[in-house]
Amino acid sequence: MRFLNIQKVKRWLGNGPMQKGYNTEYEIVLTEKGEAWEKVLRCKRKELEDLRDRIDEILNSDTTAEKLDLSSQQGEVIDQHMETDPLCQECKFRLTKECASCLFIMQSPLERKLFVELKKEGIYFKPQYPLGYDGKKAYINEDEDKSTRYKKVLTIVDFYIEYNQMMLCVYTDGHTYHERTEDQATRDKNIDRKLQDLGYKVFRFTGKEVNERMSKVIDDIKAAIEKAKNRSSSARW
């Protein structure tokens, strides 16, 4: 890995009638990690400006895939979303690593909406977090057959938030308990009960809540975090 460092160098020329005091140059130092050598170049401001313009020209010509270090196919997916997806139009995370995570990790438009809002609020979370039946993080072997890959996984949490002793599992279900099939409702209730027995707090937000009352969704999550903060402060005293 190469490292590039640039610094300003001033050299005193004297203050005679034909001299201008200081001469300013720019020193560019190139080093290689693990190597003893370094390459030092000195240039004038105009040369440095030309180099800057050339760097800008090259970087601005990068494709989305090159900018985000993704496959060309993933880059094309992002470009398409930038053009047609309303959620992407004014998003502050456009063409960033968060943008890639939003599109390729989150599983639904509802999850993506909450992903963006949590990021905007600076709330740290782990997306698509697998939990095992023992309450610990489960590890999924993608090379394993799909029929057995998830046998040790209790649930994959949409957003896992941990603060001090609080462990919060947030789901965006897209429907209420009443709108689910009986099997879905029973399964989710069993998961919630098991998580609570293991010491987890569970929030499930419907599509209506995410789409129409996002501020309350965020307030509920922030309130849980604030409660954990206050509990921690009280414990210290």
Q: What is the DSSP string of 204-228?
A: EE-HHHHHH-HHHHHHHHHHHHHHH
Note whether 56 and 86 are same-domain residues.
no
Note whether 167 and 151 are same-domain residues.
yes
β-bridge pairing 201-205 and 166-172:
parallel
Q: What would the pLDDT profile of 148-181 be if each residue is shown by its tens digit?
A: 788 889 999 999 999 988 999 999 976 554 456 7
- Whether 237 shows a pLDDT value over 60: the answer reads no
CB 208 within 8 Å of CB 174: no
Note whether 118 and 162 are same-domain residues.
yes
Q: What angle do CA 192, 99, 1 make, to 5 degrees?
A: 115
Note whether 127 and 178 are same-domain residues.
yes
Note whether 153 and 97 are same-domain residues.
no
Q: Please write down the long-range contacts of 134-138, taking CB distance under 8 Å and 24 or more positions apart.
A: 135/195, 135/198, 135/199, 135/200
How far CA 159 is from CA of 80, 125, 138, 154, in Å, comes to: 26, 6, 15, 15
> Which of 104, 136, 163 is at the close of a domain?
104
Note whether 137 and 181 are same-domain residues.
yes
**pLDDT-above-90 percentage for the chain:** 65
Q: What would the pLDDT profile of 51-103 be if each residue is shown by its tens digit?
A: 999 999 998 888 999 999 999 999 999 999 999 999 998 899 999 999 999 99
Query: What residue numbers bound the domain in which 32 lies?
Result: 2-60
Give the tokens for residue 229: 């903060």
DSSP, res 108: S
Note whether 118 and 92 are same-domain residues.
no
Confidence at residue 175, expressed as pLDDT on a 0 to 100 scale = 57
Note whether 16 and 78 are same-domain residues.
no
Q: Order of strands across the sheet with 38-43?
A: 2-14, 21-32, 38-43
- The rounded Cα 41 to chain-centroid distance in angstroms is 37
**Based on the structure, what is the number of domains in the chain?**
3
The CATH number linked to 135 is 3.40.960.10
Per-residue pLDDT averaged across 218-236, rounded?
83
Per-residue pLDDT averaged across 33-48, rounded?
89
Q: What would the pLDDT profile of 99-149 be if each residue is shown by its tens digit?
A: 999 999 999 999 999 999 999 999 999 999 999 999 999 988 887 877 778
- Whether 232 shows a pLDDT value over 70: the answer reads no
Q: What would the pLDDT profile of 10-24 be if each residue is shown by its tens digit?
A: 887 766 666 667 788
Note whether 199 and 154 are same-domain residues.
yes
- The answer to whether the predicted template modeling score (pTM) of the entire model surpasses 0.85 is no
Under DSSP, is residue 32 helix (H, G, I), strand (E, B) or coil?
strand
Average pLDDT, the chain: 89
How far CA 173 is from CA of 75, 85, 111, 198, 218, in Å, comes to: 28, 21, 9, 21, 16
CB 24 within 8 Å of CB 9: yes
Note whether 119 and 219 are same-domain residues.
yes
| 41 vs 22, higher pLDDT | 41
Under DSSP, is residue 16 helix (H, G, I), strand (E, B) or coil?
coil
Note whether 124 and 99 are same-domain residues.
no
Whole-number Å distance between alpha carbons of 214 and 157? 19
Confidence at residue 19, expressed as pLDDT on a 0 to 100 scale = 61
